[in-house]
A and B are shown apart, each in its own frame.
Chain A
Amino acid sequence: MRLSLPLMGLLTVMAPAQADEIVSGSTFLSPELRRQQDDPTRNPAWFWVDQGRDLFAAKRSGGGQACLDCHADPATSLRGAATHYPQVDPSSGKLLNLEGRIEQCRVERQQQPAFGYETAEMLSLTAYIASLSRGLPMSVRTDGPAQPFFEAGKAFYERRQGQLNLSCKQCHDGLVGQKLRGDTISHGVGTGYPAYRLEWNTVGSLHRRLRACSLGVRATQFDYGSPEYLALELYLAGRAKGLPVETPAMRR
């Protein structure tokens, strides 16, 4: 019995290296960066959330409706909304992520010009709406109409590509916890996005991060919101099922 306590401590220390379960990207941050992420007085990504909250309440030009006019009390009504994206839009049959849904709402219902994928406005609104689901587990649908997209994302994840001839899976399943260009390889779950990346000095979308990965293996960089990245995003969200939403996170 006297031995059991140190032994248990040893097992706990060793557990992350052995365990095969998917963990959040925050697990791989340095302790200092993690403290900064968890401290709203020091995490600059909260500026984007603040901007998104303002945009959400702002009246549109020409007497148009604000987001808030339909989605009253967003802290309750939209709590958990981000955990279900990407999802298949029933009317068009297309796969939409949170950015796609916001843009659709803006163009079709508010009759306003589209923001554009990586604009400050789109990032702010996405960060704000995702932040309303902070701490809730990811729960996207991967069956039914979403299944072909999920399968396509899985195939993308497992396919070797680029001049370096690497698949996502080789690093993000096979080499998790090891080093790559000074950073630690994570499971590649996107639960913190839109996130503030130190490399960017700003907040960026998950698709911007995926483009950086594609560039890293010298493969084709697909467009923001492209079907390839949307399917991959669904697969990553399906892999991350049960992990809490952490937006707005900080990443290296």
Chain B
Amino acid sequence: MFNARITVPPQAKAGEPVEIKVLVRHPMDRGGQSDGKGGIVPRKILNRMTATYAGAEIFRIDMNTGVAANPFVSFCTRAVETGDIVFEWREDGGATYTRTARLTVA
């Protein structure tokens, strides 16, 4: 079951760096185990996370099987305007998940 906990500062000044913290619920199954029927379980992880803010991609991470389940990511960006930061995760198999967080710039 996918879920995300995104933490942004309640308010930021324009031009100021802000820290964005993202915790995701995902088993990040690396696959390869027997499925009990002669086959193997395919890999199913979130292989990419991107963050878009003020019309630009501000952060991207490609994840691999070495990343633990329920990964935590934090990064910094510069506050420019009040708006939504849009997060998108790409899962093996083509599914995508989207969450947004509002950044208020005073």
Binds B, one of A2-10, A43-51, A147-155, A176-184: A43-51
Query: Which A residues touch B70, using CB under 8 A?
Result: 44, 47, 201-202
| One of B21-29, B40-48, B53-61, B82-90 at the interface | B21-29
Q: What are the residues of chain B within 8 A of A202 when measuring CB–CB? A: 27, 69-70
Residue-by-residue, is B8-41 near A (CB-CB < 8 Å gives 1, otherwise 0)?
A: 0000000000000101010110000000000000
In the complex, what distance in Å separates the CA atom of A225 from the CA atom of B3?
29
Q: Are A42 and B25 in contact (CB under 8 A)?
A: no
Partner of A42, one of B23, B28, B68, B69: B23
A201-B27 CB under 8 A given contacts A42-B72, A44-B70, A47-B70: yes
B-side residues, CB < 8 A to A, are 1, 3, 5, 7, 21, 23, 25, 27-28, 68-70, 72
CB atoms of A41 and B21 under 8 A apart = yes
The reply to whether A51 and B1 contact each other, CB–CB distance below 8 Å, is yes
Chain B contacts of A42 at CB under 8 A?
A: 21, 23, 72
Does A22 reach chain B (CB closer than 8 Å)? no
Report yes or no: B3 in contact with A47, Cβ–Cβ below 8 A.
Answer: yes
Q: A46-B5, A47-B5, A50-B3 are in contact. Are A41 and B23 (CB under 8 A)?
A: yes
Q: Are B72 and A47 in contact (CB under 8 A)?
A: no
User: Across the interface, which residues of A come within 8 angstroms of B72, CB to CB?
Assistant: 42, 44
Question: In the complex, what residues of B have CB within 8 A of residue A201's CB?
Answer: 27-28, 68-70
**Complex-state Cα separation, A41 to B28, whole angstroms:** 19
Q: How far is the CA of A79 from the CA of B25 in the complex (A)?
A: 27
A217 within 8 A of B: no
Pick the residue among B25, B28, B68 that contacts A47 (CB under 8 A). Answer: B25
Contact A44 B25 (CB under 8 A): yes
Q: How far is the CA of A200 from the CA of B1 in the complex (A)?
A: 17
Q: Give the shortest distance, in Å, between B9 (CB) and chain A (any CB).
A: 12
A81 CB–B CB distance under 8 Å:
no
The 10 closest A-B pairs by CB, nearest first: A201-B69, A44-B70, A47-B25, A41-B7, A41-B21, A47-B3, A42-B72, A42-B23, A44-B23, A201-B68
